[in-house]
A and B are shown apart, each in its own frame.
Chain A
């Protein structure tokens, strides 16, 4: 290992990055764009879902029920329509996610103390939203219903007993249940995958394609010097981007940061070694820019997106998939990120994630080193 030769390769790599404006944009701006995109674009919170109403009763009681819907932050009563077809149309058009039909005898039945049914038409194209709508609307209606019962009892001078059971909820870690707090930390894993695997696989495959690798390996430079010289600049960029993303997450999206910053840097460094090694390995195998970039996206970005717990909770996956996620290094990194951002888990308690991550880093780095030979064909 000669430091001079390593430095020569690294310096050249930095010049490549600086000369290529597209590469610079990817390196400097893409992390910020990804964080903003996921921070704003992927919103799992349901607020102000549009509601259309067909109120066949038009009484004070039916208005009271609608007011309760309007008062909830989850619903926005957009319009009251005058016939049933107009209501179904609003769902067909997608103007409404929920259609409420109040029967003509709503107030009459209430005053007779007879049960009354309110129809709720739910747009089920997005099952997740539909489930949430059903749950929220049942809660609104039940709240109204029990208030009416209590009023009725009170009016008869009966002693009103408080409810026997009540759940007192307190949400920890993500107190306001903001989905950005849940999502944004995990974006770091996506950014690292792109920087680490995608960009490096391109830069090495490019050398094979253009024939410059042949000139390079005809010199006394060793495979390890080439690998380190190529990867160290991207490692530095990756660490820089980690800090950029963390700053945006903390100061722009107000995601709490409760853990140790050095643990963030340590786990990011390990994950970077994982993706850089993978990118290097893939480009050595593929030797063409197109193949290398596609394989590296498949091997790093997709698992980081789908199987890391970044968006989709691993606990809710089928058991087989849960096992597969154990082979996805991003899983451990995302887990560390969520814990140090939101929970402030002490570093020692992160061993179940940090140890596998370190093992992946070690094995893949060795694999990358062993894969590259200074021979053609």
Chain B
């Protein structure tokens, strides 16, 4: 992709997003707590965490919509606190709520954002075509936006956010409330853009989506709990993972959390995930320990950790798994 319209391009070697000790407080509440990150050009960078972890607050600071309490952040080479307008010309932003105009036609929304981003007249036709093509909305230009299905709306919103070919795009939970097939298509689009050199900074609370990211930051209570590629994060997990099918679950979790040689235990769906130092040795011990405490035990087996397990183990709040949508 070309650089942003009418602005000098960012140096090739530069990181697209550099965050240093970024803090945001609302009164006594610390929404973002000393975050440090660097996002490379062309990367799909995931910001993963439960609702209320501080993802949207961080992204709003990076877009110049909220003033950081302290710390610094540079986006596309511009300081978000001091040069918010330069930042805005060089980013595309999709907010968490669908926020195009429902009473406008598809083409009217596109034209509006083309105007807001000052897309030059010579490029306008080509860019509108590109967005319609990308969002698969050819022939639907004159539909009222409100009548579009959720997945189409998301693609249109993405299209409007990248009309001006920004080098960095911020997507705040872009696929929430969208059906799985549309979600999959949306991620194809994101990767397509990244291949063209666009840096994509995306927040999500869908674990499966996190696997599509090149690198991830796990966010918990405003701070970065872990940072790395999905496979690095999985390897970083201490110990090994056991799947335990048993009944009743609630009681079993409490019993296992105080058991010897158990690092962590959490409910995942209708079974337990158990972190232990050595899986093979632990299997018979767990079975016996649970039976001794009057719990009916089914299958106990070693499994590969998912990002969800990593997250739970890194933030070590036993019930945080409940907030996740698998």
A residues sitting closer than 8 Å to B (CB atoms) are 2, 4-5, 7-9, 11-12, 15-16, 19-20, 210-212, 214-222, 374-377
Complexed CA–CA distance, A337 and B297 (Å): 89
A193 to chain B, nearest CB (A): 26
Complexed CA–CA distance, A154 and B93 (Å): 99
Instruction: Decide: B118 and A218 in contact? CB cutoff 8 A.
Output: no
A9, A210, A220, A221, most chain B CB atoms within 10 A: A220
Q: Which residue of A lies closest to B96 (CB)?
A: A211
Complexed CA–CA distance, A222 and B67 (Å): 17
Report B45-70 residues with CB < 8 Å from chain A CB: 60, 63-67
A217 to chain B, nearest CB (A): 7
Chain A residues with CB under 8 A of B67? 375
Known contacts A8-B115, A217-B65, A221-B116; A15/B84 CB under 8 A: no
Residue from B85, B94, B116 in contact with A216 in the complex, judged by beta carbons closer than 8 Å: B116
27 A-B contact pairs sorted by A residue (CB < 8 Å): A2-B118, A4-B118, A5-B115, A5-B118, A8-B112, A9-B116, A12-B104, A12-B108, A15-B108, A16-B101, A19-B104, A210-B97, A211-B95, A211-B99, A212-B101, A214-B65, A214-B97, A215-B95, A217-B65, A218-B64, A218-B93, A218-B95, A220-B116, A222-B85, A374-B64, A374-B84, A376-B65
B273 to chain A, nearest CB (A): 37
Chain A residues with CB under 8 A of B91? 218
A230 to chain B, nearest CB (A): 13
Chain B residues with CB under 8 A of A377? 26, 66
Report B229-287 residues with CB < 8 Å from chain A CB: none
Closest 5 CB pairs of A and B: A8-B115, A215-B99, A218-B93, A211-B97, A219-B116
Report B124-166 residues with CB < 8 Å from chain A CB: none
Instruction: Decide: B88 and A219 in contact? CB cutoff 8 A.
Output: yes
Instruction: Decide: B112 and A376 in contact? CB cutoff 8 A.
Output: no
Instruction: Decide: B84 and A215 in contact? CB cutoff 8 A.
Output: no
Chain A residues with CB under 8 A of B93? 215, 218
Chain A residues with CB under 8 A of B16? none
Instruction: Decide: A220 and B88 in contact? CB cutoff 8 A.
Output: yes
Q: Which residue of A lies closest to B89 (CB)?
A: A220
Residue from B65, B100, B103 in contact with A218 in the complex, judged by beta carbons closer than 8 Å: B65
Instruction: Decide: A210 and B116 in contact? CB cutoff 8 A.
Output: no
Complexed CA–CA distance, A220 and B112 (Å): 13
Complexed CA–CA distance, A210 and B145 (Å): 14
Known contacts A19-B103, A214-B65, A218-B95; A12/B117 CB under 8 A: no
